[in-house]
Amino acid sequence: MSKRIVASGNKAAALGVQLVAPNVIAAYPITPQTPLVEYLSQFAADGQLDSTIVEVESEHSAMSVLQGAACSGARTFTATSSQGLALMFEPYFRNSTLRLPTVMAIVGREMTSPETIWSSQQDSMSVRDAGWIQLHVEDNQEIIDTIIQAFRIAEDQDVLIPVNVCYDGFLLSHMSEAIVVPDADKVKQFLPPYVQKHLLFDPKEPMCIDPMTPGPLMLEFRKHLLDSMQRALAVIDKADSEFNSLFGRSWGGILEAYRCDDARYLLFTVGSMTGAAREAVDYHRENGVPVGLVKLRTVRPFPRQRIAQLLQGRDGFAVVDRNVSFGWNCGIIYQEIKAAASDCGHMVTVPVIGGLGGADITVQHFIRVIDELLSRDTSENWRTLWLTGIEEVQK
């Protein structure tokens, strides 16, 4: 029986994990992920979670423990944020390169310094090139649904790549809203048991895992992972449509295009900011502005072709980055979309940075962004609009 309840983002994630019941969970608390780990521990203590929970002394240990479990064919889950993710980075690279289909929630938090615990996407963006699939979600319903989909995507034999489910710290993790908790039996239907074939710690058939590997072989292994990343694009769409058939909800697969069909201008968003962006698009549409919204769900693998298709023939786009690219004078997703758009003809493009360290990105900000997109010409394509404050917007 599916049921409708009120839940915070962390609770939604915990309920998703409870439905999947991975074999092994090892996680270390860090704000704003902590309640997720606490819920899982409580579920286990109450006999309501059929998983082995390993208490570890750090995020580095958490991922290392999961690797041992995953090498034995276990389904594994963990979660972290910013500094915890940084501490975890050493083993993190091994899950993807050993093709261990771990699912991990990243509860988006700014990287210090300045000291902060509040939301941004800097943490997940900083690890985008370590070989994991990276999905970003907009609200708490999408959190619970995507956690379940993540296992399906990771464990697909055409993929076998670990998946990050990223949701904004505090803005979603600590915000309560109504969600529908999927029916447990249907989740079992959606997610058959995982059988690992490509490597396994098995006393009956011993093997050594990850011996020293010379250069030419390294190239082959990397190419296989890159090819699988490309296949993952179709699997992400397939998992979404299979989920829709069983549960009646679709999130668009690799991205959602909102009011884009006749749009001359496109606004790109990632994560919870999308909610406010929808309102701003509707507002401008009421005033006759042909603007649409693209919610980028999948940051890795980057859906280059889909974005190029979407941008073909448009007059311009803006990208709102909840992160910075330190060496470029703009955000990270802006660069990636610019690259995807490079064969789409010259158009006006606006890089926007906002919402760092827990700062709000409001409907007013998005209205301003669209105004900016309409008023600029191509000479300013590399001048970043910083969403520094509501007061400035209201001038």
- Which member of 114, 193, 203, 211 binds other proteins (CB under 8 A)? 211
Nearer Cβ to other proteins (140/196)? 196
Rounded to 5°, angle at Cα 200 from 195 and 204: 105
For 297, the token pair is 């769900």
CB of 98 to other proteins, least distance (A): 5
Q: Pick the piece of the chain touching other proteins (CB under 8 A) from 24-32, 128-136, 210-218, 329-337.
A: 210-218
Paired strand residues for 80: 106
- Interacting residue with other proteins among 4, 193, 203, 208 (CB under 8 A): 208
Exactly one of 4, 198, 346, 395 binds other proteins (CB under 8 A); which one? 198
Q: Does 219 bind other proteins (CB under 8 A)?
A: no
Do residues 180 and 218 lie in contact, with contact meaning Cβ atoms separated by under 8 Å? no
Question: Rounded to the nearest whole angstrom, what is the least distance from the CB of residue 69 to other proteins in the complex?
Answer: 16
Of 221 and 328, nearer to other proteins (C-beta) is 221
Considering only residues 77 through 106, tell me which ones interact with other proteins, judged by CB under 8 A: 97-99
Residue 261: C-alpha distances to residues 155, 257, 266, 290 (Å) = 34, 8, 10, 10
**133, 78, 50, 298: CA torsion to nearest 10:** -20
Residues in the interface with other proteins (CB under 8 A) total 20
* Contact status: 160 vs other proteins (CB under 8 A): yes
User: Closest by alpha carbon to 142, among 271, 22, 21?
Assistant: 271
Q: Name the phi and psi angles at 38, rounded to 5.
A: -65, -40
d(CA 172, CA 356): 15
Q: Which one, 112 or 213, has the nearer CB to other proteins?
A: 213
Site string for other proteins, 314-353 (x = CB under 8 A): ----------------------------------------
Q: Which stretch binds other proteins (CB under 8 A): 27-35, 102-110, 222-230, 258-266?
A: 222-230
Nearer to other proteins, 99 or 297 (CB): 99
Distances (CA, A) of 101 to 66, 132, 206, 220, 346: 10, 9, 21, 20, 40
Residue from 5, 6, 209, 219 that binds other proteins (CB under 8 A)? 209
Write down the least CB distance from residue 198 to other proteins, Å.
5
CA–CA distance, 191 with 329 (Å, rounded to integer): 43
- Minimum distance from residue 128 beta carbon to other proteins (Å): 21
Q: Of 313, 312, 315, 310, which Cα lies nearest the Cα of 293?
A: 310
Told to check if 60 binds other proteins by CB under 8 A, we report: no
Three-state DSSP class for 333?
Answer: helix
Please report whether residue 214 would count as binding other proteins according to CB under 8 A: yes
Tokens of 164: 């990050």
* Nearer to other proteins (CB atom), residue 17 or residue 103: 103
Q: Which of 224, 226, 345, 383 binds other proteins (CB under 8 A)?
A: 224
- Residues in a beta bridge with 351: 319
Q: Does 230 bind other proteins (CB under 8 A)?
A: no
Q: Does 195 bind other proteins (CB under 8 A)?
A: no
Q: Is 203 in the site for other proteins (CB under 8 A)?
A: no
Q: Which residue has the tokens 């310094």?
A: 113
Distance of alpha carbon 79 from the chain centroid: 12
67 is a contact residue toward other proteins (CB under 8 A): no
Pairing, β 176-181 against β 133-136: unpaired
Residue pair 248/279 in contact (Cβ under 8 Å)? The answer is: no
- The single residue among 45, 221, 248, 313 that binds other proteins, judged by CB under 8 A, is 221
- Contacting positions for other proteins (CB under 8 A): 97-99, 160, 198-199, 205, 207-214, 217, 221, 224-225, 228
